[in-house]
Amino acid sequence: MGAEFFLLVLLLLLAGIAVPLATSGQDRRISRTAAHVCTIAASAVLAAIALFVLVTGQEITWTAYQPFGFFSIAFVIDRLAAFFLLIIAAVSLCVAIYSGEYVEHLEGGSRRNLLCGCVNLFILSMVLVVASANTLSFLFFWELMAASSFFLVMYEYTLPETRKAGIFYFVMTQLSTLFVLLGVILLYAGTGSFAFSLIRSPVSPLIPVAFLCLFLGFSIKAGIIPFHKWLPYAHPASPSPISALMSGVMLKIAVYGLVRFLLDVFTPELWWGLLILAAGTASAVLGIIYALKEHDVKAMLAYSSIENIGIIFIGIGLSVVLTAVNLPVLAQISLLGALFHALNHALFKSLLFLTSGSVVHATHTRDIEHMGGLSHVMPYTSALFFVGAVAIAALPPLNGFASEILIFISFFSSVSAVDPLLKVVMFIALSLFALTSALSAACFVKAFGSIFLAMPRSEESAKAREVPFLMLLGPAILAGACIILGLFALQLFTLAGFAVPEPDMLLIGVLLLVMAGFTYVVLHFTASREVRVSETWGCGTLSQQPSTEYTGHGFSEPIDIIFSSIYCTRLKNERMFFDEKNCHFREGVAEIRLLKVFEEYLYLPVSRASLRVATAVSRFQNGCLDTYLLYVFFAVIAVIVYLGWFA
Amino acid sequence: MNGFLLYLVLNTLVVLAIAPLFVSLIKKVKARTQGRSGPSVFQTYYNLAKLLKKEVIYSPNSSRIMRVAPIVNMAALLVAALFVPLVFVPEPLGGIGNIILFLYLLALAKFFMALAGLDAGSSFGGMGSSREMSISAIIEPTTIIVFAALVFVFKSLNIFDMFATSAAAGTLATPVLILLGISLFIILIVETSRLPVDNPETHLELTMIHEGMILEQSGRNLALMELSAAVKLTLLMAILINLIVPFGLMTTFTLAGLLIAALLFVVKGSILAGIIGLFESSTAKMRFFRLPSLFAMAFFFSTLIIIIEVFA
């Protein structure tokens, strides 16, 4: 009976696409609202289906279209798929509520209808990717997801930076599809099947190659370093709800693909796990180090997404390693930690993107150096952002910590069980993981402090006003989910039937409240209750100026300097010199340049090389009929020679 | 459950009562080495009592963060205090004692303190927050490696079990533990903002980190900040003491045992406070950007211990 409800979800989403597109000629709010209502209804039904499958374990199967024996568009929702469908549903619901108001404030007239329709197409394609029962339909909907998200990034296509971001994103996402396609074809060559079924022996040598292709494809989509550059371009360029969907959900679809193939198709080897672990660790550490340097709030969140995807990959890689060395219990804990972190990251990252969208809407700038003091004028938005910041900094008792501690525990427990050489690798990964998590706390102290605390640093920031109700409701649901998932983590795992060594966060939460109450009561009875409001001491200046505040740049300066070799900052220091007659005989400039390492040493060389090859090849196609006849002549001779030789 | 409630009340009260004493003792030792007689060992208690009587001054720029941070900070430290049994080790309950959670409760307190530092919009507070968060980030790999080594040596993730194991062993620790003790000592120095990382005595903008961060605090809020810093010092000292020299630590509750354990803890803590004081007196403040190399040294030192332990 589940299949009917799934069909209902698809029909609702299709309606959500059709309505705004059909009325795209008229710039009317009602058709956009209808699209949002469709999304909300579809998300609610989808969440219900997903919860049903998660709790009962009953699979839902549905074959939609089967023209040939081996080719079919079919869907299976098992517990893994249901978990990711829940992520899609939860984020889409809140994003749709938020968009109901946000989209109306965008510029673009009736183009906004297209945006609403495209959002629903995007959500639909993600639902279908996750529900796909075989690799062929997986691939088909994967490409649909890539195409629809490209249109969403290009919404403000008149801006040159958006066009650049869009093209960059398009190339990267097509590369990803290319590698996934290659992986699927290799799998077919190795096994003769498009199904998600376990490969049995004899194992063909093509299988590791297929894994590498799929891993590459999913890494590009998930933004694993060094394939991450599209994220910090695409996120600032697209509207905030789109960033929330892309960062919160689409990256998780790549995680889903990796987990699905690792669990259901391959029998992973040790080095696969180490590869995933290494990629995850590099992304996590470098992602957060770059995030600290970033002062565009949405690019900062994009880098932080790279970090969190890295953490998820660390969990998956660790799980594969532990499975390979025969520690299934710890492997399961680690995998559960990774999946739980995927859900948590979806929630708090979309929360942060939506609230930062509100901030950008109110202040008309994305630069955190021009914000400040917003907690006075936007109290609700600042409270919601704060919940997200605490959650993403992995502080107890919120959900970010609840999932990271599982990965920590499996690291800690596994070091006493695996062989010595592996242990050293684990210790390195563990210490880098700890560094990541501490740096992310620093990053979000900086973000929250610069955006919301102290004095406004620009006129726009001083004039900002709180956003309308719907733009608070969407994030508020996400914030509530972050708190609940943190406090009830242990209980939820028990409900799902997994025994994990998660500490009881509810107890910790209660204890924190008890201790805070104790402190408050003791102070109430023993301390003076006098309060005075007086200006901050500014070393004797008459009144404090915003220009004397500590800036975001200043905040991250120590970390900039400590990790300067990673940033590859180039210091160039040239001067002008004059002789005694004041004739200047030499001059120069001073600059500090942030080298874009990956772009200058990886992306550009690759693109230049492909351009060279393309130029060389294009010389053969000169449009002259005689040349083409010559080619045909040579081809015929070659065929004759070949046949004569081998026949 | 009843036993745990007893533990909850007992441990919280003991830690709150003892914490200021150790802070004064360190100051006293430092004063003596400088040839001064120094304040009384009860001076920190007097200071706290004085601060409680004073009014609180808030900057007009500051938000709710400034108002809740002292209380959250204290609450997080008091919950963390439950994770470190000072004199009496009960059965662990629902993940209390988890060493990772302990570390992150300290991080929670630090997060709020750093935000409060930024809240008033003073450049001193921002400077303190920035430096504190940077230092805590780069010491984190060392801390986690040392804690992982503890987990490895004691075969448990729970501080309660570690203490119970070491209390059962009773004697002075093995060489490995003494080496780990040195790493724990470095972490203690860094986490409690002592020389050569930070100077708890000065209010000079070039040297201060922790003090800069709480510069805008006043009255009862400042009292909470000072007390929670003292509690943090006591907790880290207790981990070191109860792992390396655990004799006297109680695992089953008796009143006589409690008194002996408490007395022994105060004596051992005073000796450690003396050592910290002497250590601080014998080093000079390091330049801020020299610190990463110190931390790198601590990191390789602890990794080396683990590798020795692993391959031995």
Q: What is the pLDDT of residues B173-203, one digit of tens each?
A: 677 788 888 888 989 998 888 888 888 777 6
Provide, as residue numbers in chain B, all residues whose Cβ is less than 8 Å from the Cβ of A549.
Answer: 121-123, 126
Query: Looking at residue A198, what is its pLDDT?
Result: 74
Residue A482 has pLDDT above 80, yes or no: yes
Q: What is the mean pLDDT of residues A465-486?
A: 92
d(CA A360, CA A370): 11
Angle of CA points A350, A355, A357, to nearest 5°: 95
d(CA A334, CA A322): 9
Distance from CA of B35 to the nearest CA of A (A): 33
Query: Looking at residue B59, what is its pLDDT?
Result: 87
End-to-end CA distance of chain A: 60
Measured in degrees and rounded to the nearest 5, phi and psi for residue B250 equal: -90, 135
* Beta bridge mates, A479: none
> Which positions ≥6 away from A334 have C-beta within 8 Å?
A315, A316, A318, A319, A322, A406, A407, A410
Residue A564 has pLDDT above 90, yes or no: no
- The percentage of chain A sitting over the pLDDT mark of 70, rounded to a whole number, equals 96
CB contact under 8 A, B125 and A550: yes
pLDDT category at A592 given cuts 50, 70, 90 is: low
Pick from A427, A448, A490: which is nearest to B115 by CB?
A448
Question: Which tokens go with A248?
Answer: 């919160």
Closest CA to A518 of B66, B10, B78: B78
Between A120-124, A393-397, A560-564, the lowest mean confidence (pLDDT) is in: A560-564
A65 versus B212: the higher-pLDDT residue is: B212
d(CA A109, CA A26): 9
Q: Is the peptide bond before A397 cis (omega within 30 degrees of 0)?
A: yes
CB contact under 8 A, A503 and B95: yes
Question: Which tokens go with A247?
Answer: 């960062």
d(CA B173, CA B165): 11
Provide, as residue numbers in chain A, all residues whose Cβ is less than 8 Å from the Cβ of B82.
Answer: 511
Of all residues in chain B, what percent are helix, strand and coil, respectively (each to 5)?
70, 0, 25
Note whether A208 and A261 are within 8 A (CB).
no
Measured in degrees and rounded to the nearest 5, phi and psi for residue A327 equal: -125, 70
Radius of gyration of chain A (CA): 27
Burial class (CB within 10 angstroms; exposed 0-12, middle 13-18, buried 19+) of A62: middle
Query: Do β-strands B56-58 and A531-533 pair in parallel, antiparallel, or remain unpaired?
Result: parallel
Provide, as residue numbers in chain A, all residues whose Cβ is less than 8 Å from the Cβ of B111.
Answer: 390, 393, 395, 441, 445
pLDDT category at A645 given cuts 50, 70, 90 is: confident
Angle of CA points B143, B149, B150, to nearest 5°: 90
- pLDDT block averages, 10 residues each, chain B of length 312: 80 91 92 90 92 90 90 94 86 83 94 91 86 90 88 86 83 74 89 83 72 87 93 93 82 80 90 93 86 85 76 62
Please write the tens of the pLDDT for every residue from A212-271.
Answer: 999 999 999 999 988 888 998 999 889 999 999 999 999 999 999 999 999 888 888 889
Q: How many CA atoms lie within 13 A of A130 on its CB side?
A: 30
A111-131 and A79-102 helices cross at what angle (nearest 10)? 170
Residue A572 has pLDDT above 80, yes or no: no
Query: Do β-strands A569-573 and A590-594 pair in parallel, antiparallel, or remain unpaired?
Result: antiparallel
Query: Looking at residue A585, what is its pLDDT?
Result: 67
Query: Looking at residue A595, what is its pLDDT?
Result: 64
Query: Looking at residue B86, what is its pLDDT?
Result: 85
CB pairs under 8 A between A and B: 248
Provide, as residue numbers in chain A, all residues whose Cβ is less than 8 Å from the Cβ of B219.
Answer: 527-528, 530
d(CA A52, CA A41): 17
Reported ipTM? 0.94
Distance from CA of A488 to the nearest CA of B (A): 13
d(CA A222, CA A251): 5
Q: How many CA atoms lie within 13 A of B215 on its CB side?
A: 27
Please write the tens of the pLDDT for every residue from A153-207.
Answer: 998 888 898 999 999 999 999 999 999 999 999 888 887 778 887 776 566 788 8
In order of A577, A579, A585, A588, the CA distances from A582 in angstroms are 9, 5, 9, 16
A387-421 in b/e form (b: 16+ CB < 10 A) is bbbbbbbbbbbbbbbbbbbbbbbbbbbbbeebeee
pLDDT category at A55 given cuts 50, 70, 90 is: confident
Question: Which tokens go with A33?
Answer: 């609202």
Element (H, E) at A490: helix A489-496
- The percentage of chain A sitting over the pLDDT mark of 90, rounded to a whole number, equals 51
Residue to test with chain A: of B1, B115, B143, B203, most A Cβ within 10 A: B115
pLDDT category at A527 given cuts 50, 70, 90 is: confident
Measured in degrees and rounded to the nearest 5, phi and psi for residue A68 equal: -125, 170
Number of H helices, E strands in chain A: 26, 7
Query: Looking at residue B1, what is its pLDDT?
Result: 62
d(CA A295, CA A373): 16
Pick from A420, A549, A562: which is nearest to B121 by CB?
A549
Pick from B79, B107, B151: which is nearest to A508 by CB?
B79
Q: Where are the alpha helices (DSSP H) in A69-159?
A: 79-102, 111-131, 135-153
Residue A591 has pLDDT above 70, yes or no: no
Supply the pTM of this predicted model.
0.92
d(CA A147, CA A149): 5
If you count them, how many residues does chain B have?
312
